[in-house]
Structure 1
Amino acid sequence: MKNNSKIVILPVDNGNMTLFKLNDLNKTTILYDMYIREKSTDKDDDSYDVLEYLMKNIETDELGRPFIDVFILSHHDDDHIRGFENYFHTGDLSSYKNEDKKIYIKEIWGSARFLKRASKFNVLESDAKCFNTEMNRRFNLFMESKKIQSTGNRIKILGHCPDGGTEGADKVVCPIGDNTSTLNENDLRDKINILVLAPLEQQENEDYESFKKKNRGSVILNIDIHEKKYTNKILLTGDAEVDVCEYLNDEYGEDELEYDILLAPHHCSKYSFYRKNSNDESIFYEKAFNALSYTKTGAKIIASCREFGKDTPPHSEAKDKYINLVGKSNFFYTAGNKVSGKVKPIEFELTNAGTKKALSKTAAIGTTAAKEATGEPRGHG
């Protein structure tokens, strides 16, 4: 019996690390962001070992080297890229050292913004700098030959550089608003389609400083994964804040924004659809929330975040909005997904009848027992 494709949201507190495992012949893997903290690999620490999980759930090549088919970075914040320098191979595969047991990436996807150096608008930690160096290495290889490179040197740029930096690179650029089903030069149109929704271009009357902020440039994707006649839709939103969500609402509609699974923006921050006014009061902006409200029947919302409490995000106000949208049994957050007191990944199978909770014990908000999450069917509105 053929296994279903899966999405796995790993528990990394207020970070993001989302793994897709497709059931195509190549067993394609896609990693959206990473947050591999040193303590999560320490056997004396209670943090979930996401590196161990990753190594057990990805493929190895004929030489025994572990790899990811596609890695997609949403933006440069450390809680979305930590671990890249320590645990992922950079440079040509000919320089790979078997004793390091690092993961290599067949094809990197990233925003055209990532080709830029660090600046006062784009302060980068060590892992983000390492990622930028590797992305530029791959981009320069393409620009020198204007040919698609070999595995381990491939790149896909999401959006064009407004200053012309991607001119002549159309073969490796997917413009914002376009779709692609080609992953690592494999045509997977029968299995997957990825719509690139953002980063959006600078908007009219938007000041440059706001435009250049890291969260403003989050890579946002709506991923269709086909299983027979059903299309499972997964909306990935990075750290999108209220401005970005309003832009999404203005730019797109139900066809582009509907979902079976929403990875809630910015670790369940209310500032994805709230703003503070001059009196420091938080004001709800319906237009921004509307962009996150195109639910399919039985839709699930997942927040990659720590426990709800005094420290924010996550915000209880955002959680309440999401629960009102999809029902309590269809809202999940990673820190609350525990078995015998230990956090576990949130895993969904993507079936020909929609998303289905994996058989491993997991829990919806407010529960500790394993249960199937179906919830109340709600449409957009």
Structure 2
Amino acid sequence: MSHKIAFFASGNGDSVLLQAHDRTIMTDICHRASRCQDENDDDAPDFAPDIRATCTGDYLDIFVLTHPDQDHLCGFGEVFHLGSPDDWDDDPEDGPVKIIVNEIWCSPYGADPHYTTDVSKPVIDEIKRRKALRGTPAGERDGNRLVIMDTGSHESGTITDGLDWRLLAPTPEEANIPESDDPDNPNSSNPSSLVIRWTITVGGKKNYVLLGGDSTVEVWERIHDEVLGNDPDALAWHILLSLHHCSRRSIGRIENPDTKDETFVPSPEAEAALGEQRGDGHVIASSKRIVRGGPTPPSYHARNRYLKILADGGEVTDDVRKRFLCTGGDKEGDKPDHVVFKFSAGGPTRALMAGPFVTTTGTSSGRGGGYG
């Protein structure tokens, strides 16, 4: 039985595939389909075959949409089936078979955003199709299920024995993104991001993974105030996906932006909430290569703050730096590469990705009931 997680190289975008205890869960996708077909475009490795190899039987158990931004849902329809499972084509004339997503998780804002784009509209339409079926027998079928969650309605749960989740954000207020007065400048959906801590138990050992989409510094300051003091273990992690593709605005604030006096001011509260590392953890930046003085995200300042978190009060040594991994590469000339970990009774260990992510046990069709 395989227990793994892959952070696929997606440029500045999230594409995270988790397989544990015969369940497969994908959090966000940024699959730039047209570029992936270009063999000379090393910045867009095609990971769709790895997803398909994992989803034996052409079913994905859960797709988690942290928030409805382009870099978290693009290419969804290139890999996953859109529409009723009754309309699924199991023998298409062109291209591979699309994967049926048994269940989608999203926030209230993800289910009803104030705006869509050409990229996001197909996914939002699929969510709305499923939303209309909720409360009916059809809404409980594989390929139709939808779970809309915030901390007011969902706190924690179990997918199957050994695979558990804890929802840390958004609150109902954070999920309630106000509509902008300027239709050409909509309000950011980042504060509505789902923040989920996964627990994968193998051989009695708990492996913790913390995923937070593009959640903002205000969200993490709220988590600090409401969660850290009362239940720090709820924030524990062995693997942390850096927020918003290693953005400085998720762990601090910018004073005097866009001027020569621009200054980054880190948030001690946000960093403390993100600091519940267990053992020698790893931070993953799902981003382009981090360059000092380059466009952000990713941010060189944020990278340095994550290194301090990894150092846990000690010196930022070469061994600490090795535990910060960027899918876009670490130095000039690096090609983007996926970051993969295996889970075991000894804790998470990094694995090299050679060939498909996994070729053994996948999901099965016909599994009734929801996971929400």
Q: TM-score, normalised by structure 1?
A: 0.79
Q: Give the aligned partner of residue 343 of structure 2.
A: 350
Give distance in 1, aligned partners of 2:177 and 2:101. 36
| Larger mean Cα displacement after TM superposition, 49-58 or 287-296 | 49-58
Once residues 353 and 70 of structure 1 are traced to their aligned partners in structure 2, the CA distance between those partners, rounded to angstroms, is 27
Deviation per CA, 1:274-332: give whole Å up to 9, x if none: 21235643212111111111110111111101011212111111111111222212111
Alignment partners' CA distance in 2, 1:181 and 1:15: 27
- Is the contact between residue 138 and residue 144 of structure 2 (CA under 8 Å) also seen in structure 1? no
Partner SS for 1:351: coil
Residue by residue over 1:9-32, the C-alpha shift from the partner in whole angstroms, topping out at 9 and shown as x without a partner, is: 00011000000011x2xx211000
- Whether 1:80 and 2:72 are equivalent positions in the alignment is yes
1:191 aligns with 2:162: yes
Residue of structure 1 in register with 2:211 after alignment: 236
Alpha-carbon distance in structure 1 between the residues aligned to 2:272 and 2:109: 27
Q: SS of the residue aligned with 2:307?
A: helix
Deviates more, 1:312-321 or 1:216-225: 312-321
Q: Return the alpha-carbon distance in structure 2 between the equivalents of residues 349 and 4 of structure 1.
A: 8
Call closer, same or farther: CA 1:149–1:241 in 2, change over 3 Å.
same
Residues 77 and 146 from structure 1, CA distance in 2 versus in 1: closer, same or farther, beyond 3 angstroms?
A: same
Q: CA deviation at 1:114?
A: 2.1
Matched residue pairs, number? 323
**1:153 Cα deviation (Å)?**
1.0
8 Å contact from structure 2 (residues 65, 110) kept in 1: no
Q: Distance in 2 between matches of 1:342 and 1:91?
A: 36
Q: Contact 1:41–1:51 (CA<8 Å) still a contact in 2?
A: no
Letter in 2 for 1:252: V
Q: Please, which runs of 5 or more residues in structure 1 have no aligned partner?
A: 61-65, 161-173, 183-187, 362-381
Deviations 1:34-59 (A, max 9, x none): 01102023334222112222223321
Unpaired runs of at least 5, structure 2: 181-185, 311-319, 355-372
Matches within 5 A, 1:50-89: 50-60=47-57, 66-89=58-81
Q: Which of 185, 198, 208 is equivalent to 1:223?
A: 198
Q: Which amino acid is the alignment partner of residue 281 of structure 1?
A: T
Bigger relative CO (Cα 8 Å, ≥ 6 apart): 2
Between the aligned partners of 1:287 and 1:208, the Cα distance in structure 2 is: 25
Kept in 2, the 8 Å contact 1:41–1:52? The answer is no
How far apart are the structure 1 equivalents of 2:36 and 2:133?
35
Separation in 2, partners of 1:277, 1:346: 34
2:287 equivalent in structure 1: 305
SS of residue paired to 1:343: coil
**Correspondence for 2:189:** 214
Identity of matched residues, %: 28
1:248 equivalent in alignment to 2:223:
yes
Contact 2:28 2:65 in 1 (8 A): yes
Q: 1:18 to 1:270 in 2, by over 3 A?
A: same
Match of 2:121 among 115, 129, 139: 129
CA 1:94/1:331 → structure 2, altered by over 3 Å: closer, same or farther?
Answer: same
Residue 106 of structure 1 pairs with residue 102 of structure 2: yes
Q: 1:257 to 1:342 in 2, by over 3 A?
A: same
Q: CA RMSD in A?
A: 2.4
Hey, what's the Cα distance between the residues in 1 that align with 2:41 and 2:49? 14
Contact kept? 1:9, 1:347, Cα under 8 Å: yes
